Structure 1
Amino acid sequence: MIRFRVLIAFLLGLFLAGPALAEVDRSAGLFINLTSDDTWSAAKAIHFAHERVLKSGHKPVAIWLNVRAVYLADKKRPSHVPGLMRAKNLSIQEMLAAFMKDGGVVVMCQACSAAAGLKKDDYIDGVVMGSWDVVEGFLFDPKVKTLSW
C-alpha cells in the first residue's frame, strides 16, 4: 500500500510539474485589442505588450487601437500616465513610439479614426492604418493570441 501511495504521489508530481517545465514558445505573438482612451488602462496594456511580451522575444506583437483608443496616438492630444506607470515619466504617445521602435506594431482602426475625425497625419509616426487585410493577418494567424484590454 505504501508503494502504491508513493507511485501515485510521484505520478501526480509529474502531472503537475509538466506545464511548469514546458518551454515557452517565443515564436508565438500577441494581438492586443485596446478600446479605451483611459490612460491608466492604456499604459498598462502598452507596458505589458512592450516590456513583458515583446522584450521576452515574442513576435509579432501588435496593439490595435479602436473605438476611443484611437485618441491615444493623436500627436496633438497630450496625455498623462497615472499610478505606478508614471515613474518613467513617459506620455502614452512616447510609450507607443518606444514600443514601435523596438519592433511592436500599432494598428489604427480606420472606421474609428474617421468617426473621431482623425486621419493618418494626425497620428504619431509609425502607426499602421488597419485595413481588413492587416487586422485579419493578426487575428487569424494560428501563432498569435488575442487579448482584449
Structure 2
Amino acid sequence: MRTARFGSMVTMILVASLIIFAAQSLASGHMEEHDAKGGLFVNLTTDDTWSAAKAILFAHQKALKNGYKPVAVWLNVRGIYLADKKRASHVHGLMKEKGESIQDMLTAFIKDGGQVIACQACSKAAGLKKDDFIDGVTMGNEDLVLGILFDPKVKTLSW
C-alpha cells in the first residue's frame, strides 16, 4: 500500500514539474516574441512635402519611438530631393506648428537612431552626391537596402 502511494506521489510530482516547466517555456517564448518587435522599411518615392512629412512622422514617432528596429526611410525616385541640403522644403500642415522643415524632421529621425538611405542610382540621375545631402544620410547600396528590405522581421510601407 505504501509503495503504491509513494509511486502515485512521485508520478504526481513529475507531472506537476512537467506542467510548470512547460508553462515557463511557453511564457518565456511568448515574451521573447513580444520583445522582438521587428522593424520598418519606408519606401519614400515622392518629394511632395505633405506626403513625405506623413511618412517620416510615422517612421519616427510611431515606429522608432515605440521600439521597432531597425527603422529606415529609403529615399528614391524624386524622394532623394528631400535630403538635398540646398533645397528648401515647404513647411505646411503638421510641420507648420513646429516650424520644422523636412530636413529638420529627417535630422531628428537620424539623431534618434533612424536610418535615412538615399538611392544611389536615383541620386546619380538627379546629379546629387553624398556631400549634397544633410548630415547622417547614408548612400544606399545593394547589400544595405536588400539586407533591411528582405529581413523577415521588417515590414515595408510605401509613400
Tell me the TM-score normalized by structure 2.
0.77
Structure 1 residue 133 and structure 2 residue 147: aligned? Answer: no
Kept in 2, the 8 Å contact 1:43–1:81? The answer is no
Aligned to 1:76, the other structure's residue is in SS state coil
- Pairwise CA RMSD: 1.3
Which residue, 66, 91, 98 being the options, matches 1:56?
A: 66
Kept in 2, the 8 Å contact 1:44–1:85? The answer is no
What is the deviation of 1:84? 2.7
Aligned to 1:87, the other structure's residue is in SS state coil
Q: Quick one: distance in 2 between partners of 1:62 and 1:120?
A: 17
* 25-34 vs 58-67, which moves further: 25-34
Q: 1:86 to 1:25 in 2, by over 3 A?
A: farther
Instruction: Map residues 102-117 of structure 1 onto 2, 5 A cutoff.
Output: 102-117=112-127
Aligned to 2:96, the other structure's residue is in SS state helix
Which residue, 66, 78, 90 being the options, matches 2:76?
A: 66
Q: Quick one: distance in 1 between partners of 2:118 and 2:41?
A: 13
Letter in 2 for 1:32: V
* 77-86 vs 44-53, which moves further: 77-86
Number of residue-to-residue matches in the alignment: 127
Structure 2 residue ranges without an equivalent (≥5): 1-32
Aligned to 1:32, the other structure's residue is in SS state strand
Segments of 4+ moved more than 2 angstroms: 23-27
What is the deviation of 1:85? 3.0
Q: Quick one: distance in 2 between partners of 1:141 and 1:103?
A: 18
> Which of these two proteins has the greater Rg computed from alpha carbons?
2
Structure 1 residue ranges without an equivalent (≥5): 1-22
Kept in 2, the 8 Å contact 1:93–1:124? The answer is yes
Which string of whole-angstrom CA distances, capped at 9 and with x for unpartnered residues, describes residues 62-114 of structure 1? 00000000000000000123213321111100100000000000000000000
Structure 1 residue 143 and structure 2 residue 153: aligned? Answer: yes
Q: Quick one: distance in 2 between partners of 1:40 and 1:115?
A: 24
Which string of whole-angstrom CA distances, capped at 9 and with x for unpartnered residues, describes residues 122-144 of structure 1? 00011111100000111110010
What is the aligned partner in structure 1 of residue 87 from structure 2?
77
Q: Quick one: distance in 2 between partners of 1:81 and 1:138?
A: 30
